[in-house]
Chains A and B, each alone.
Chain A
Amino acid sequence: MAEYNSELDIKGEICPFTFVRSKLALEKINQGEILRIIVDYEPAIRNVPRSMEEQGHKVISINKINDTDYEIIVEKNGLKK
């Protein structure tokens, strides 16, 4: 399991608010830190990573963690080096 600095559980949330909340959580951590985002809205595992990368954040991994939930691991500004 990936190492992370903070975690955001947004199960029950749908797009675009999955990304909105993920982005707000990223704004609160430092450059280079890792955020773990937990979603249960399946399209979010494509939409959130795509938007993250467009804005310079590095998507480290996307994993199914149980029957309903997924984790998206993101490094803040990881593509802006």
Chain B
Amino acid sequence: MDFTEEQIKRYARHIILPEVGGEGQEKLLSSKVLLIGAGGLGAPCGLYLGAAGIGTLGIADFDTVDLSNLQRQIWHGNKDVGRYKVDSAKDSIERINPDVKVVTYKEKISSDNIRELIKDYDVVIDATDNFPTRYLINDACHFYGKPLVYGSIFRFDGQATVFLPDKGPCYRCLFPSPPPAGLVPSCQEAGVLGVLPGVIGTIQANEAIKIILGVGTTLNGRLLIYDALDMKFTEMKLRQDRTCPLCGENPTVVDLIEYEELCEFKA
């Protein structure tokens, strides 16, 4: 493709990089990324993906913007309170980069629609805040062969990793099944430092871009653990579990499962 004059300027700092260049920028512009969750993780992740010139950015979230979101969900503003998060997100991306085609999904993700949702995308990003959706995304990405960039946050602690189809572990190798209801502090009511999803969400954007470009070393097989309070990054080696209920030798999860919402204080 030939870049427009505007694109040459816009992507100059990418084009200069040996690992990206004009060819890499073309890959980004022709790539399709699905971002599931338009909240704390999704906002910084989506903003950077949009700025980077991801050609098609799907954003899925059924929720609307609440004032209490604005402490961390930086692509929504005061005026967006009450709007669908995906509509506000779309406006933010389009304000930054008209090259990006933003596709919004306002339906709640379920075992009925997830296949249709992810099938045309090159990379899926889990920027959700609850276990049922995480398992559904993980299982669907395994069944349909999609790279998955995982991120999660809680109070001052964040995690990120990359699950690749047929290479390395999946989410269930790490956590075979959801925790019992009541064991884990509830999702929406748990406190979180506003900056924390900014750190983890940008790491997710970084990994998605590397997957598309095919450069560097992703977090595949490594769980990155971030402690914002003591400012420490640590890493845990992840191995594929032969007894994994999903990707192991004798899988017991052979179809998509919808777990019950575990949140005690469901909003």
Contact = CB atoms under 8 A, between A and B. Distances in A.
Contacts of B12: 16-17, 20
Interface in A33-65: 51, 54-56
Contacts of A51: 16
B3 A24 contact: yes
Contact of A24 (B9, B13, B15, B18): B15
A78 B68 CA distance: 57
A17 B21 contact: no
B16 A16 contact: yes
B22 interface: yes
Given A17-B9, A21-B8, A27 B16 contact: no
Nearest to A28: B22
Question: For B3, B9, B18, B22, which residue has the most chain A Cβ atoms within 10 angstroms?
Answer: B22
Contacts of B8: 17, 20-21, 24
B5 to A, nearest CB: 10
Contacts of B9: 17
Give the secondary structure class of B's interface: helix
B23 interface: yes
A51 B12 CA distance: 14
B68 to A, nearest CB: 42
Contacts of B15: 20, 23-24
Nearest to B3: A24
A32 B9 CA distance: 27
A70 interface: no
A24 B22 contact: yes
Contacts of B13: 16
Interface in B11-55: 12-13, 15-16, 18, 21-23
Contacts of A21: 8
Nearest to B8: A20
Contacts of A16: 12-13, 16
A14 B223 CA distance: 43
Given A16-B12, A17-B8, A20-B12, A55 B23 contact: no
Contacts of A20: 8, 12, 15-16
A27 B22 contact: yes
A19 B16 CA distance: 7
List 9 tightest A-B contacts by C-beta distance, closest first: A24-B22, A20-B12, A27-B22, A55-B18, A20-B15, A27-B23, A16-B12, A20-B16, A16-B16
25 contacts: A16-B12, A16-B13, A16-B16, A17-B8, A17-B9, A19-B16, A20-B8, A20-B12, A20-B15, A20-B16, A21-B8, A23-B15, A23-B16, A23-B21, A23-B22, A24-B3, A24-B8, A24-B15, A24-B22, A27-B21, A27-B22, A27-B23, A51-B16, A54-B18, A56-B18
Interface of A: 16-17, 19-21, 23-24, 27, 51, 54-56
Given A24-B15, A27-B22, 5 more contacts: A17-B9, A17-B12, A19-B16, A51-B16, A55-B18
